[in-house]
């Protein structure tokens, strides 16, 4: 028995947004692999510090890919277990994002990006070389990112709020759909 009325709209909204997120996760995986290959001319990870950015991109992509998969398939098939898994995982992501935001604020002055400023990334490439213009970029990555964020803080805040609203709506829609599916099971 399928959901009806307003829950059908919730089902399709949940499916549609998760399908978009699933595609985004897939795109992040591809971008991460392309960055890894372009940095090292191979997909193999020889130096974890030099591969940190692609590894993070690929990991986030895989996470989004699987969470969105549960949301997509659960909504389409009206599977209570998959939608519950999606809601729990998305809730954990929200909690992790809140924790990351708090930690980012607490440790905002303790960030150092020495090795990411190297022109040619190798092990310890930034050690004792931060003033050597032939080895490292003289305008630090940290300063560039900090200036960018300060100049665009309103857009960063808007993006964070929009993402938070979408995530909370995803959890709420999943819970509504779970309740509707559960009541359909109880009727049968």
- Write a three-state SS string for the chain: CCCCCHHHHHHHHHHHHHHHHHHHHHHHHHHHHHHHHHHHCCCCCCCCCCCHHHHHHHHHHHHHHHHHHHHHHHHHHCCHHHHHHHHHHHHHHHHHHHHHHHHHHHCCCCCCCCHHHECCCCCCCCCCCCCCCCCECCCCHHHHHHHHHHHCHHHHHHHHHHHHHHHHHHHHHHHHHHHHHHHHHHHC
Model confidence, pTM: 0.67
pLDDT of 113 > 80? The answer is: no
CA neighbor of 17 nearest in space, from 28, 27, 9, 5: 9
pLDDT value, residue 48: 61
The answer to the question of residue 150 being in a domain is: yes
Strand partners, 139: none
In a domain, 133, yes or no: no
> Which has the higher per-residue pLDDT, 85 or 97?
85
Does residue 129 lie in a domain region?
no
Q: Which domain holds residue 62?
A: 6-109+139-187
- For the four alpha carbons of 66, 68, 72 and 74, in that order, the dihedral sign comes to positive
Instruction: For residues 66 and 86, give the distance between their C-alpha atoms in angstroms, rounded to a whole number.
Output: 9
Mean pLDDT of 112-139: 67
Rounded (10°) angle between helices 141-151 and 153-187: 80
Given this model, what pLDDT does residue 108 score?
67
In a domain, 98, yes or no: yes
Nearest to 54, CA basis, from 72, 76, 34: 34
Residue 131, both tokens: 């003033």
pLDDT for 142 beyond 80:
no
- Rounded to whole angstroms, the Cα distance separating 164 from 97 reads 9
- CA–CA gap between residue 146 and residue 73 (Å, rounded): 40
Q: Is 165 part of a structural domain of the chain?
A: yes
Q: Tell me the CA end-to-end span of the chain in Å, nearest whole number.
A: 8
115: in domain: no
Q: What total of structural domains would you count in the chain?
A: 1
Does residue 73 surpass a pLDDT of 80? yes
pLDDT at 148: 75
Q: Does 50 map to a domain?
A: yes
Q: Report residue 63 as tokens.
A: 């996470």
Query: In the prediction, which pLDDT does 91 show?
Result: 92
Q: pLDDT at position 188, please?
A: 57
Least confident of 28-37, 42-51, 54-63, 178-187: 42-51
Mean pLDDT, to the nearest integer, of 175-183? 88
Tell me if 117 is assigned to some domain: no
Biggest distance spanned by C-alpha atoms of the chain: 74
């Amino acid at each position: 028995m399928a959901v009806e009325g307003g829950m059908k709209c919730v089902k399709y909204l949940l499916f549609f947004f998760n399908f978009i997120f699933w595609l985004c996760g897939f795109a992040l995986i591809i971008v991460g692999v392309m960055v890894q290959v372009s940095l090292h001319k191979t997909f193999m990870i020889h130096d974890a510090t030099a591969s940190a950015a692609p590894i993070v991109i690929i990991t986030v992509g895989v996470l989004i890919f699987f969470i969105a998969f549960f949301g997509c398939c659960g909504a389409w098939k009206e599977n209570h277990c998959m939608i519950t898994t999606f809601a729990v995982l998305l809730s954990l992501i929200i909690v992790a994002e809140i924790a990351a935001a708090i930690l980012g604020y607490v440790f905002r002055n303790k960030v150092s990006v020495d090795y990411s400023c190297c022109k040619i990334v190798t092990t310890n490439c930034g050690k004792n070389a931060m003033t050597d213009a032939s080895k490292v970029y003289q305008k630090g990555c940290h300063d560039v990112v900090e200036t960018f964020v300060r100049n665009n803080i309103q857009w960063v805040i808007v993006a964070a709020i929009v993402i938070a609203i979408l995530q909370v709506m995803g959890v709420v829609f999943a819970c509504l759909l779970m309740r509707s599916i559960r009541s359909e099971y109880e009727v049968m």
